Structure 1
Amino acid sequence: MTWMRIAGAEEVEHVSEMKEIIIDNESLVLFHLQEGYYVTSNICTHRKQYLTEGSMDGGSVNCPRHGGKFDIKTGEPLAGPCFAPLQTFQVDIRNKEIWIDF
């Protein structure tokens, strides 16, 4: 894997914000939680719905299609019909820039 800059911290400066990031034609989502920044794949593992079209609820993201829910920090499913976890990426903050190990 390689470290890549994906955004400036000001692009998701408010807690509970999320933003779609595209890298090599792969859709990821950058989340800003109280504890920091997290990145997961942006596609629900149940029916390929963009999670950025859903909503955040504390430390989880809700899929708008069938109501599945995932833990933002771990990618683990929290509610069916989702059973497979999201891919997660290690995040590092460098001089107010957000980098991931992609």
Structure 2
Amino acid sequence: MRRQQVDVVVVGAGMAGLCAALTAIDEGADVVVLEKGSRVGGSMLLSHGLIWTFSDKRQLKQEIPDGSEALQEFVVDVLTAAHTWLEELGVPLEPETSLSGTGGGE
């Protein structure tokens, strides 16, 4: 068994895990990412890289009425900044498109 001392352990190499790892690295942490699968990507890989969201807070609350309102508002409020952050890291994003009238994706 190999032992390694790090500051942060991220479990899962999907979009959320990889973004968490990058954020920790940006803050100066020594990071290791653990993935049970044979490749990175998680559900982002299954969606062919599509970042999908609702068009606005009202629609999100209508579609997921029992969800945390604070979390829903946070997700909608930071999405543009998150896209900018990814682009600054060199991740090429396609222009936003409408998806079946329920939201948008890049």
User: Scaled by the length of structure 2, what TM-score is found?
Assistant: 0.24
Question: Quick check: which one's strand share is greater?
Answer: 1
User: Scaled by the length of structure 1, what TM-score is found?
Assistant: 0.24
Relative contact order higher in (CA < 8 Å, ≥ 6 apart): 1
Question: Quick check: which one's helix share is greater?
Answer: 2
Structure label with greater radius of gyration = 2
